[in-house]
Amino acid sequence: MDPDIDPRIGPGIDPGLIGDCVHCGFCLPSCPTYVLWGEEMDSPRGRIHLMGQHVAGTPVTGEMAGHFDACLGCMACVTACPSGVRYDRLIEQTRAVVEREHVRPPADRAVRELVFRLFPYPRRLRAMRLPLRLGTGLRRRIAPALERVSPSLAALADLAPEPVRHRRLPRRVRAVGRRRATVGLLTGCVQGEFFPQVNAATARVLAMEGCEVVIPPAQGCCGALSLHSGRPGQAARFARRTIAAFERAGVDTVVVNAAGCGSTMKDYTGILDGGWADRAAAIRVADLAEYLVELGPVATRHPLPLTAAYHDACHLAHAQGIRSQPRELLAAVPGLELREIAESAICCGSAGTYNILQPEAARELGDRKAERVLATGADLLVSANPGCTMQITAAIRRAGATPIPVAHTAQVLDASLRALREIG
Amino acid sequence: MGAPYGSAAVAALRGTGAEIRDAGPGDTVAGVVPRWVALPGSTEEVAALMRVCASLDLAAVPTGGGTRLHWGRPPERCDLLVGTRHLDGILEHASGDLVVRTQAGVTAEALAGALAAAGQELALDVPAGGSTVGGVLATAAAGPRRLRYGTARDLLIGITVVLADGTVARSGGKVVKNVAGYDLGKLFTGSYGTLGIITEAAFRLHPVSPVRRWTTVRLPGPDSWTVPDGSGRLEAPIGPIGPTGPAGPAGPAGMGDPVGPADTAGPIGPAALASALAAAQAEPSAVELDWAAPSGGVTVSALFEGAAADARAQAVQGLAGACGPWEVAGEAPAWWGETPGNGVPGEILLELRVPPASADRALRAVAARGLPARVRGSLASAVLHVALPAETGGPEFAAFVSGVRDDVRPLGGRLTVLAAPPELARRVDPWGPVGALPLMRRVKERFDPGRRMSPGRLAEGL
Amino acid sequence: MTDTTGATPVRGPALDRIARRLAAVLPPGAVITDPVRLRTYECDGLTHHRAVPGVVVLPETAGQIAAVVRICNEYGVPFVARGAGTGLSGGALPRTDGVLVVTSRMRRVLEVDLPNRRAVVEPGVTNLAITEAVRPHGYYYAPDPSSQQVCTIGGNVAENSGGAHCLKYGFTVNHVLALEIVTPDGDIVTLDADDPGYDLLGAFVGSEGTLGITTKVTVRLLRAPEAVTTLLAAFGSIEQGGRAVSAIIGGGIVPAAIEMMDALAIEAAEAAVACAYPAGAGAVLIVELDGPAAETALQSAEVERVCLESGAFELRTAADPAERAAIWKGRRSAFAAVGRISPAYIVQDGVVPRTALPGVLASIDRLSAEHGIRVANVFHAGDGNLHPLVLFDDAEPGAAERAEAVSGRILDLCVEHGGSITGEHGVGVDKARYMPKMFTDDDLDTMQLVRCAFDSRGLSNPGKVFPTPRLCGEVPGVRRGAHPLVESGRAEQF
């Protein structure tokens, strides 16, 4: 058996969790795929029903697997559910079952292999950036051919942002002024490789707010991508390594600036067992915005006269319940006018590796999100998740609209604290 | 009358226990004189009468106060007029539940009197004196406060009817909230006695408002209305809507707010005024219009109900712009709630309905025909009654009906003939096109396959 | 659980043929025949009735629905319409031998006409989406069933849905101005409130899909009220709360909503959403007043006075939308919340005259004690609509049966007090057997006449509403023989 899929979260789908669903349907309007297709089996309620069918003895059919694969794992349904159904747990268990029991067509298998052998490994990802470092012109020219060969690879090429120079972060950043706290910083894989400037900004903001920031160089992927794709074995391996890295760095609080990573790390105790679960519990994980609001501001905010639309990343809003904190931080920047994006609770279609594995649905959702983002008329889009940023940027590019600059909350704060004229 | 079994039929009818007499000229139904009149005293007697009618194939027409017996088309045949005046008991007034159950022959006045003792009312402003509960339902009569409380079908919560074969059927009940079974009450509302005889009804009631204020303003004639009516109507097909909201984040493109008085240059038209009243959150219970003649001005009057009615009536003063000031009074204008006709057989009365924002255009369509029409009715709901002089000739009448119909059809409106002398009525289709007519005919066939209940009184085949 | 199917059904060749015909009139991907997928449609919000549909179709236009219905007619197979599948009476329970017509892809707001205060929408638009489309302009759609963010307007039309605010504003039937329907014969017909003649629009609303399928709905929009005041009053007992309700109504006030919860329901809501209702309350009353500010100010003072006089020990008034939401949170969560205090439960829906509430609640208490079954009460106190939540443990032998017995007895109580077996959830398949408790054979036969006029073959959602399937027989002739007077030449027919 593939050690990556090795069941660590139990042998199958927990029938008790399925039984919590009363079939009320309150999850339907929150589900991106139901919004797109209006089909019961592509809604959380329908997927739970499919899980029930499997538990009752129906084998995983191709159709069934397709509906599970189509789930973005955005967790909007968890927020919407009045009965407290743990759909997050259910879909993780189900994905593991699918990976174990279902044989996918060869082309699908190849793409999935590529993704899981690439994304969680920063060094491989860095190597991969070379072929993606194609000018937009060239990219446009090869796109049709790539689309024919593999929509997934086309999506991958489409998503990759314009490369930025990779900057190595120091192992430790000293607090500015009186030291108020010492925190670890997770650099992440996609964030670290495609958006190193966000990590730099995060470190600076934390330092300017009086934090000593520890950045262990040995950290790798947190395990989020694997966990959300039915590879709990791989996820657990990454989780253990991440815990060990921060333990060695001697911090008990880890600040995370990528939504998907944060939600996974907050759930380490559910992925691991025994001693590792205890060690996970000893480390406090906080999202950057959550942490900064708790800490309270000390640094001076300089004006940034612009309108900004804030995008709720699913793994921040739904998985971690963090909605008000980033808005609070942004609204506190003098001169900054915050605008709401319609249908903010609906996923942009990025969802970890979803835009690569389910390119058509992801594109529809991306287009839908881009339309609503553009409708705000904002100067800047603020997104706290690298996947969302890539996804929405690509969709806006497809729409042929004037590109809207996208920045992480950390970059906006960094610009305000440093009195920069531009966000970078 | 010399029917071969006339005396036997009378004996059979008398055997039901109901009072039976020969019909006279005063019992005419839209020009048709029945043979006998029956005055049953209970639902059971009505059922027995209908069984006799079924066995002898007698056609029956129910009547209440007879105030609108000249409305509708002449029945194809009419042997027995079934009067409900002995069904005059208020069966139950559950004041704590705001519900009343009454027999069909109770008059609106008698009911109002009984309910007033408990500070309650049936919020239907029945137009003519002597109307009964059953008659109001059968003709779907309604008055000014339809804007706030709806019409008879909205206040009716239970009904008892007797069908052509004597079957007694009930639907609904005496609770306001109830979704068990089909709502026969809705079906019988506006049925003109063609499906059966209503013998009992239950209604939801409202507390009588402690204060009522009518605020009235006079607008000039149609030549000076400057706001193009109906212009705010927008066709805005928009993209697929997710269950959480509209596709376009900014909402349907081009969707306009109601026409308000602010953007008017000259005197405001009645439709814009009604729209402004509705948008002002002052919550009038009614906005009525009276137009004595197409050449002259229009009177608009709004009713406010509630402890703070006075202040709310004052608050809308600004809405009429240069046409003000409004006159605020504790009494209704004399014309309030009355149909514009004279209410007697021979009157010509039509009902004009358009989407409310198109009311001005509908009024202009009436004026354009050049007949001395009098228009009155609910402006905010744009359900208006049009009366023509009794001496109107056949060709003029037909031209009026077809001309106004042509003008209001593109607005989504319709003109219905409520009452007209048979020689005039014959010249026009009383309803104009109604898409649901084939379904209505199928309902009629099921309820009254022998066509004994007021046959043809409502429309061809009903 | 009433599983009418047993194992996954094997579709007969007839349904396969029909599926092919359906595919020819529908867009690609709009016909579902895969057994695993079909099974996800086996029930609506009421899960103890299940039937796997023969075929599921996802049409996008009225024309497509008409084509589907005509094909069903051709083969004589039944069809059932379904919106979001949130119904609580099994009204959208599929037929194993028929076609399930799902309107979830018909969700466009076609027209918003503010000057005429109306909107035209497709049947799959959610109730709340209508309000969201017009809220920025100061309007809303009044009926607000508690599932409003999910349930579709087509389903609301079928069920004549109400909601907490129907005390003042009425039900779906009072807010629908016109419907486009596909008749059970496959014709597209418009039923308009402005039509003269029989109120077929009124008869269609609430007919639970037995008279045809709604394909377009014109709804009335209301101006958002100038002021909304929400009060929460805590009482020591249900009796005190009931007294307050009577006194409010008796005082001539018609609030937008009056909701009551008993101690057990409060406990459940507390467990689920930490609503922080006053501790020790035997009952809480939520009273919402809306309208012109000048009126609500006077009324809320009166309501406060009446509540205190009736024994309220704590009063809270929401000052802003956030506080209002906090007050409503416990009430809105109540149904799902009882899942936190009981492994299984039945949501009942019955109506009694408001003044009979105290007596009926006392009887429910006795029933509860006699059967050893807990009952939590949540109700729309203003209109006497009870939602007893009958709690039981499905692992305990016999408990489900006892709960079912208590639940059924509560409906008997409603009928005995002159009420109804359903105030808003509908009859569906679940309560058809209770219809004879409320109606005579003659009443039901007369309703059946309406059914036969619309659907003489009984193909539209058969097995719902009425206790026994009745056949319509032959369509009777327009006239049975000639009138004796005509026959004898003494009268003329015209």
pLDDT in tens, A272-319: 888 899 998 999 999 999 999 999 999 999 999 999 999 999 989 998
Is B187 in the same domain as B213? no
Query: A1 versus A216: which is more confidently predicted?
Result: A216
Non-local (6+) Cβ contacts of A135 within 8 A are: none
How many distinct structural domains can be found in chain A?
4
Chain C hits for B434, CB-CB cut-off 8 Å, are 195-197
Is A279 in the same domain as A382? no
- Against chain B, the chains showing at least 3 CB pairs within 8 Å are A, C
Nearest C-alpha of chain B: how many angstroms from C344?
26
Task: Note whether residue B438 is domain-resident.
Answer: no
- Residue among C58, C86, C116 with most chain B CBs within 10 A, to mutate: C116
Question: Where does residue A18 fall: left (phi above 0), alpha (psi -120 to 50 degrees), or beta otherwise?
Answer: alpha
Question: Where does residue C331 fall: left (phi above 0), alpha (psi -120 to 50 degrees), or beta otherwise?
Answer: alpha
Is B324 in the same domain as B341? yes
Question: How far apart, in whole angstroms, are the C-alpha atoms of residue C92 and residue C103?
Answer: 12
Q: Provide DSSP, B97-117.
A: GTEEEEETT-BHHHHHHHHHT
Position B185 confidence tier, pLDDT thresholds 50, 70, 90: very high
Which range is most confident: A123-127, C211-215, C262-266?
C211-215
Of the candidates C34, C85, C336, the beta carbon closest to that of A22 is on C336
Non-local (6+) Cβ contacts of A311 within 8 A are: A341, A344, A348, A369, A373, A381, A382, A383, A384, A388, A392
- Is residue B27 within 8 A of residue B81, CB to CB? The reply is yes
Summarised one tens digit per residue, pLDDT across range A58-78 is 999 999 999 999 998 889 999
How many distinct structural domains can be found in chain B?
2
Is B287 in the same domain as B402? yes
Task: Note whether residue A229 is domain-resident.
Answer: yes
End residue of a domain, out of A80, A101, A122: A101
- Is residue B366 within 8 A of residue B386, CB to CB? The reply is yes
Domain spans of chain C, in order of start = 2-102, 109-223, 227-416
Task: Note whether residue A7 is domain-resident.
Answer: no
Task: Note whether residue A400 is domain-resident.
Answer: yes
Give φ, ψ of A114 to 5 degrees.
Answer: -55, -50
What range defines the domain where residue A77 resides?
Answer: 15-101
pLDDT at position B413 over 90? yes
Question: How far apart, in whole angstroms, are the C-alpha atoms of residue B82 and residue B23?
Answer: 11
Q: What is the mean pLDDT of residues B111-137?
A: 91
Q: What is the mean pLDDT of residues C143-162?
A: 95
Chain C hits for B5, CB-CB cut-off 8 Å, are 484
Say which range, A282-296, B319-333, C67-81, C312-326, has the weakest mean pLDDT. Answer: B319-333
Is B197 in the same domain as B214? no
* Type of residue numbered B347: E
Task: Note whether residue B271 is domain-resident.
Answer: yes
Question: How far apart, in whole angstroms, are the C-alpha atoms of residue C122 and residue C154?
Answer: 8
SS3 (DSSP) at A376: coil
Quick one: tokens of C243?
A: 């007294």
Quick one: tokens of B119?
A: 């500070």
Residue at token pair 């023989």: C481
User: What confidence score (pLDDT) does residue A224 get?
Assistant: 84
Q: What is the mean pLDDT of residues B10-30?
A: 94
Say which range, A350-354, B16-20, C27-31, has the weakest mean pLDDT. Answer: A350-354
The average confidence (pLDDT) of chain A is: 84
Quick one: tokens of B406?
A: 């042509």
Bridge-partner residues for B179, per DSSP?
none
Which C residues, 341 through 380, put their C-beta within 8 Å of a C-beta on chain B?
Answer: 351-355, 380
Answer yes or no: do C454 and B439 touch at CB < 8 A.
Answer: yes
Chain C hits for A25, CB-CB cut-off 8 Å, are 45, 84-86, 147, 150-151
Tell which residue, A314, A331, A109, has the closest CA to residue A224.
A314
Is A120 in the same domain as A91? no
Non-local (6+) Cβ contacts of A263 within 8 A are: A75, A224, A315, A316, A319, A320
Is A335 in the same domain as A366? yes
Position A156 confidence tier, pLDDT thresholds 50, 70, 90: low
Which residue on chain A is closest to B245 by alpha carbon?
A: A343
Is A130 in the same domain as A190? no
Is B117 in the same domain as B196? yes
The average confidence (pLDDT) of chain B is: 88
- Residue among C181, C199, C216 with most chain B CBs within 10 A, to mutate: C199
Summarised one tens digit per residue, pLDDT across range C425-448 is 999 999 999 999 999 999 999 999
Of the candidates B240, B283, B436, the beta carbon closest to that of C189 is on B436
Is B273 in the same domain as B222? yes
Summarised one tens digit per residue, pLDDT across range B38-72 is 999 999 999 999 999 999 999 999 999 999 999 99
Q: Chain-centre distance of CA C384, in angstroms?
A: 16
Question: How far apart, in whole angstroms, are the C-alpha atoms of residue B163 and residue B60?
Answer: 11
SS3 (DSSP) at B197: strand
Answer yes or no: do A342 and B243 touch at CB < 8 A.
Answer: no
Task: Note whether residue B280 is domain-resident.
Answer: yes
Answer yes or no: do B249 and A371 touch at CB < 8 A.
Answer: yes
Query: Mind spelling out the 3-state secondary structure of A263-309?
Result: HHHHCHHHHCCHHHHHHHHCCEEEEHHHHHHHHCCCCCCCCCCEEEE
Other CB atoms within 10 Å distance of the CB of residue C68: 26
End residue of a domain, out of B144, B175, B207: B207
Task: Note whether residue B25 is domain-resident.
Answer: no
Look up the CATH number of the domain holding residue B326: 3.40.462
Share of chain C above pLDDT 70, in %: 93
The CATH number given to C2-102 is 3.30.43.10
Task: Note whether residue A6 is domain-resident.
Answer: no
End residue of a domain, out of A101, A118, A135: A101
Cα–Cα separations (whole angstroms), residue C202 to A292, B154, B182, B183, C102: 58, 9, 9, 7, 23
Quick one: tokens of B311?
A: 């202040």
Look up the CATH number of the domain holding residue A307: 3.40.50.11810
A240: enclosing H helix or E strand: helix A232-249
Answer yes or no: do C337 and A41 touch at CB < 8 A.
Answer: no
Task: Note whether residue A8 is domain-resident.
Answer: no
Is domain C227-416 annotated with CATH 3.40.190.10? no
Query: C155 versus B268: which is more confidently predicted?
Result: C155
SS3 (DSSP) at B118: coil
Look up the CATH number of the domain holding residue B107: 3.30.465.10
C18: enclosing H helix or E strand: helix C13-25
Q: Report DSSP state, residue B83.
A: E
Task: Note whether residue B354 is domain-resident.
Answer: yes
Side by side, which strands form the sheet with C118-121? Answer: C109-113, C118-121, C213-220, C176-182, C188-192
User: What confidence score (pLDDT) does residue A384 get?
Assistant: 85
User: What confidence score (pLDDT) does residue A28 get?
Assistant: 96
Residue at token pair 């008017």: B264
Is A194 in the same domain as A180? yes
Is A180 in the same domain as A287? yes
Query: C391 versus A82: which is more confidently predicted?
Result: C391
Which fold would CATH assign to domain C109-223? 3.30.465
The dihedral through the CA atoms of B119, B124, B127, B130 has a sign that is negative
Nearest C-alpha of chain C: how many angstroms from B434?
7
pLDDT at position B263 over 50? no
Query: Length of chain A in residues, anyone?
Result: 424
Of the candidates B2, B357, B436, the beta carbon closest to that of C116 is on B357
Q: What is the mean pLDDT of residues C179-200?
A: 97
What range defines the domain where residue B109 resides?
Answer: 90-207
Is B308 in the same domain as B361? yes
Of the candidates A22, A25, A83, the beta carbon closest to that of C85 is on A25
Calculated CA dihedral for residues B240, C42, A79, A278, nearest 10 degrees: -140
pLDDT at position C378 over 70? yes
Position A226 confidence tier, pLDDT thresholds 50, 70, 90: confident
- Is residue A372 within 8 A of residue A342, CB to CB? The reply is yes
pLDDT at position C465 over 80? yes
Contact status of B433 with chain A (Cβ, < 8 Å) = no
The dihedral through the CA atoms of A358, A364, A365, A371 has a sign that is positive
Is B219 in the same domain as B134? no
ipTM for the predicted complex comes to 0.92
**Cis? peptide before B325, omega within 30° of 0:** yes
User: What confidence score (pLDDT) does residue C336 get?
Assistant: 76
Is B271 in the same domain as B316? yes
Task: Note whether residue B24 is domain-resident.
Answer: no
- Is residue B39 within 8 A of residue B86, CB to CB? The reply is yes
What percent helix, strand, coil does chain A show, rounded to 5? 55, 10, 40
Chain C hits for B241, CB-CB cut-off 8 Å, are 107-109, 125, 129, 133
